[in-house]
Amino acid sequence: AAVATDIAHYDKPAVNRALDRAKTDTDPGTRGKDLMKALTTAAPDLPYLPLWWAQTATALSSAHVLLEPGPFGFIGP
């Protein structure tokens, strides 16, 4: 389903399933695998082609967590 940040209205069942699993799984390793599955499945379709990338600053804290992955989330090791 399209959301405000999905400006391409990209909709592929395999990607949607992987993202849905990543939203609900509590194991970071499994979530990472689901997110990578979504990215590698969507990549050949090239739903987004960023022509510009803003410089940003990111502050990390174990006291604050994102409830749901999104475009402003930081995915890292």
3-state secondary structure the chain: CCCCCCCCCCCCHHHHHHHHHHHHCCCHHHHHHHHHHHHHHHHHHCCCCCCCCCCCCCCCCCCCCCCCCCCCCCCCC
Give pLDDT tens digits for 13-72: 999 999 999 999 999 999 999 999 999 999 999 888 877 767 766 677 778 776 766 665
pTM: 0.60
Per-residue confidence (pLDDT) for residue 20, from 0 to 100: 94
